[in-house]
Structure 1
């Protein structure tokens, strides 16, 4: 093959033509790779932000649509409410209530109403001092004492303790209740006091003393309930005397020291009587050279405290007082409660009721340490018991019989006597028994009228009521107790706690509205195991509710119920309601909704508010 034929000429493509003219717009400058990447990223980012914005805008629009729908719905509801009147709503409520009430009996309705009233008046602060309240101090354990029962008593079983309580009809409530002790000697009481008790023919403790004394000796707070004349005074005075004796023996008291305990009483007469008892027992103790003299102070209105300056000049062991004068002495710093650790309230239901509650709180504010608190009374309604339990520290409740029950040693006679015939019939009643006799009336003017009538008829009579001076009141009681006067005409001031051992007959000229007062008044006879008679005048002026309370009280005590009283029907029985009695006053014939004691308390409260607002004028 010819090499010339096979060889071809390889032609190169033409060279590109470059336009170097600066005015040519088609020229694209060179962009570095890194810059191109950044621009690409920025483009993608802008696209993402735009999408997010669109999504947020869409969500906001949806939220606004929902809010608009809710506003429209609320507007429609508001429009419906405006169209629906209050009268229609009230009618619907009434219809609903009527349907519910139709399912309940009258008794259930009455019980519900009573419970509402009880809850409304229950909201009361505990009996604590201002210091304890401010610092939030709460005591959980009772006071410790050095007293312990004898070994043989400690070794008895709980069943044996309960058997002894059942023997004396003692009811107890509380945790770890101290054992009952049947003999004074086993209570470790000093021999001089035991000898004095024997000389007064007090050999064995009464039921309230049998259980109450060991509880108080053990340092426990106590609520003691027992019928009138059952020896409650000894049950709270004797432990205080022994406490004072122990403190005096440790380190003798000097001027400005004491007291170690205080006993509060609702009336001057009761405070004076308690003071005399304490002085008698302390004097009996001091007869033995092994025991020191204990100083007690009587602190009541109507007497000059300068007469007792010789006591104030020494150390004071025991104070017996009425609230008003005690507050005055404490505010003047005549003595202090810095070391006081024993507080007893006699007739406690009256002391912590509306009349004295503020004063009691004021007195408690002067205490600087934990104290042992004792509440004693013959009548203590459920409301007061519940309130006391909240205020005391692990209290022991000792109850001999129902709270507010009448003394079974008193024969109760109820007679229907017209108002105009009362005075004449009174003379006939006085012939039933020999003197002394007590006549009670709720009206001060009536007390004076009765005394004047008796004096005109030749009967030696004295009168006592709240408007008399302290000298007149003391003279009346002293003359009556000594036998100089045969009859004492009294208002309610002499019905609480006063001890007249020889009185065989009590005449209630005007039946008190509150059954509690009646129980206290008839309790001036039949004391210390003796028997007595109580004659009560009733007529058309006596409220039917009071008569119903009286009827149930007679039935409970197994007394004769006169026909005119037996014929009174209880409206609660017809309604099918409970007959438990009133928790405010303890009356068995009514509920709390028509309690005369509550009505009277509310009336006093309203009067005091009017006076505070300046309604009384000058």
Structure 2
């Protein structure tokens, strides 16, 4: 698989998992936590008898389920270990194929909560001999409202098992979940809620009705090798894609309303560099590993946790990349929250005067009724024209 060294999360968690301990692992996206739990679990499966499901991995999205299944294929290529990804969003044929694969047997099931419950209700999944259960991206699953589904699944599992919980953030609701399903867990925290060092971060202050014009201007003036542009509203995906097409740029969109086949085809075309710009909702902000993404654009300001995950799509595996966030006047309180998490203000991009005046940023201005924050400056705040080709110093 090309691994030559352990990342910090792998180095600290693999021995504990091999010892059979329950574990809470908290690490930012792109740090190698998938391999951190797969490698020791596969080691234990290979040395055990077969004939039943040994490991259940619960994930929030079908994309992450498929990605983990692919990683297992690579790691276990020279072993008899079998895995299956079980997820919704397809058609009746997909459901039947999953049922058939479950009937034939698998050592590892990677599943989204809703589809797994459907198979459990039909009696197609036997988990009475399960040895390991892993909740990956647990914080995202709770944000998506899967708490009751997770507890319903856990109730059907043997009480004597090893339980691993991995999350990029550790809010109170995750700790509540951990207390209910883990037994005397070890806890490993690696660089919680901090972007990778290789990411150069920018903000661009604009009025809401300027965002598309500024976006078009930047794309007209500067070349982009490979970019993911995130928008919080799926209704905007097609509008942004259309705008990019009108200025002659190759772009496609992906969001939850598209079928699984459409999403797979779009993502594969992007990975194969058939177009340069992928416009996406947060469906791609976690668990999707696409190599050599040079730039990330946030069309709106996300929450701090989603910000970390979004910009984490670039600068993966110790590489470098740039992240640009558009900030409207009404979104400045969100930027202040992000800067509070980072502990510094993010450098600003100045846009050409021809595009009109832009709002001034006041980091002490918070959402009405909220507390203000003044971040710690990371360096010079002098505004310089934005350049794609000449990368600035890292923040």
Q: Does the alignment pair 1:553 with 2:341? A: yes
Name which structure has the greater RCO, CA cutoff 8 Å, separation 6+.
Answer: 2
Aligned to 1:396: 186
Task: Tell me, in whole angstroms, the C-alpha distance in 1 between the residues paired with 2:275 and 2:144.
Answer: 35
Report how far residue 564 of structure 1 moved.
Answer: 4.4
Aligned to 1:205: 6
Write out per-residue CA displacement over residues 105-147 of structure 1, whole angstroms, 9 at most, x where no aligned residue: xxxxxxxxxxxxxxxxxxxxxxxxxxxxxxxxxxxxxxxxxxx
Task: Tell me, in whole angstroms, the C-alpha distance in 2 between the residues paired with 1:495 and 1:350.
Answer: 10
Task: Tell me, in whole angstroms, the C-alpha distance in 1 between the residues paired with 2:245 and 2:205.
Answer: 25
Report how far residue 518 of structure 1 moved.
Answer: 1.3
Aligned to 1:263: 57
C-alpha contact (below 8 Å) 1:271/1:298 kept by paired residues: yes
C-alpha contact (below 8 Å) 1:297/1:319 kept by paired residues: yes
Write out per-residue CA displacement over residues 470-517 of structure 1, whole angstroms, 9 at most, x where no aligned residue: 1111111111111112111001111122111210100001112x2211
Aligned to 1:540: 329
Report how far residue 209 of structure 1 moved.
Answer: 0.5
Write out per-residue CA displacement over residues 169-190 of structure 1, whole angstroms, 9 at most, x where no aligned residue: xxxxxxxxxxxxxxxxxxxxxx
Aligned to 2:385: none
Aligned to 2:294: 504
Residue 117 of structure 2 is aligned with which of 327, 330, 347? 327
C-alpha contact (below 8 Å) 1:451/1:462 kept by paired residues: yes
Aligned to 2:364: 568
Q: Tell me, what secondary structure is at the counterpart of 1:541? A: helix
**As a proportion of its length, which structure holds more helix?**
1
C-alpha contact (below 8 Å) 2:17/2:41 kept by paired residues: no
C-alpha contact (below 8 Å) 1:554/1:561 kept by paired residues: no
Residue 476 of structure 1 is aligned with which of 266, 271, 281? 266
Q: Does the alignment pair 1:414 with 2:210? A: no
Would the alpha carbon gap of residues 210 and 568 (structure 1) be closer, same or farther in structure 2, given more than 3 Å must change? same
Superposition map of 1:88-237 within 5 A: 197=1, 200=2, 202-237=3-38
Q: Tell me, what secondary structure is at the counterpart of 2:26? A: strand
C-alpha contact (below 8 Å) 1:411/1:559 kept by paired residues: no
RMSD over equivalenced CA pairs, Å? 2.6
Q: Does the alignment pair 1:439 with 2:225? A: no
Would the alpha carbon gap of residues 393 and 498 (structure 1) be closer, same or farther in structure 2, given more than 3 Å must change? same
C-alpha contact (below 8 Å) 1:551/1:565 kept by paired residues: no
C-alpha contact (below 8 Å) 1:433/1:505 kept by paired residues: no
Task: Tell me, in whole angstroms, the C-alpha distance in 2 between the residues paired with 1:405 and 1:212.
Answer: 19
Report how far residue 386 of structure 1 moved.
Answer: 5.0
Task: Tell me, in whole angstroms, the C-alpha distance in 2 between the residues paired with 1:225 and 1:270.
Answer: 17
Q: What TM-score does the superposition give when structure 1 sets the normalisation length? A: 0.55
Gaps of 5+ in 2: 350-358, 375-395
Task: Tell me, in whole angstroms, the C-alpha distance in 1 between the residues paired with 2:102 and 2:182.
Answer: 31
Task: Tell me, in whole angstroms, the C-alpha distance in 1 between the residues paired with 2:316 and 2:139.
Answer: 21
**As a proportion of its length, which structure holds more strand?**
2
Task: Tell me, in whole angstroms, the C-alpha distance in 1 between the residues paired with 2:20 and 2:108.
Answer: 17
Residue 425 of structure 1 is aligned with which of 214, 217, 220? 214
Q: Aligned residue pairs: how many?
A: 360
Report how far residue 464 of structure 1 moved.
Answer: 0.9
Would the alpha carbon gap of residues 427 and 375 (structure 1) be closer, same or farther in structure 2, given more than 3 Å must change? same
Task: Tell me, in whole angstroms, the C-alpha distance in 1 between the residues paired with 2:222 and 2:164.
Answer: 39
Q: What TM-score does the superposition give when structure 2 sets the normalisation length? A: 0.84
Task: Tell me, in whole angstroms, the C-alpha distance in 2 between the residues paired with 1:468 and 1:323.
Answer: 20
C-alpha contact (below 8 Å) 1:414/1:535 kept by paired residues: yes
Q: Does the alignment pair 1:294 with 2:95? A: no
Residue 457 of structure 1 is aligned with which of 247, 256, 264? 247
Report how far residue 365 of structure 1 moved.
Answer: 1.7
C-alpha contact (below 8 Å) 1:341/1:372 kept by paired residues: yes
Q: Does the alignment pair 1:244 with 2:45? A: yes
Write out per-residue CA displacement over residues 222-268 of structure 1, whole angstroms, 9 at most, x where no aligned residue: 11111211101101122222222122xxx342xxxx21001111111
Aligned to 1:63: none
Report how far residue 387 of structure 1 moved.
Answer: 4.2
Would the alpha carbon gap of residues 566 and 218 (structure 1) be closer, same or farther in structure 2, given more than 3 Å must change? farther
Task: Tell me, in whole angstroms, the C-alpha distance in 2 between the residues paired with 1:243 and 1:486.
Answer: 41
Aligned to 1:523: 312
C-alpha contact (below 8 Å) 2:99/2:124 kept by paired residues: no
Residue 71 of structure 2 is aligned with which of 277, 283, 304? 277
C-alpha contact (below 8 Å) 2:228/2:277 kept by paired residues: yes
Aligned to 1:363: 153
Report how far residue 203 of structure 1 moved.
Answer: 0.8
**Larger C-alpha radius of gyration, 1 or 2?**
1
Report how far residue 307 of structure 1 moved.
Answer: 3.3
Gaps of 5+ in 1: 1-196, 287-292, 580-618
Aligned to 2:162: 372
Would the alpha carbon gap of residues 381 and 485 (structure 1) be closer, same or farther in structure 2, given more than 3 Å must change? same
Report how far residue 418 of structure 1 moved.
Answer: 2.1
Write out per-residue CA displacement over residues 258-293 of structure 1, whole angstroms, 9 at most, x where no aligned residue: 21001111111111111111112121x23xxxxxx2
Would the alpha carbon gap of residues 361 and 313 (structure 1) be closer, same or farther in structure 2, given more than 3 Å must change? closer
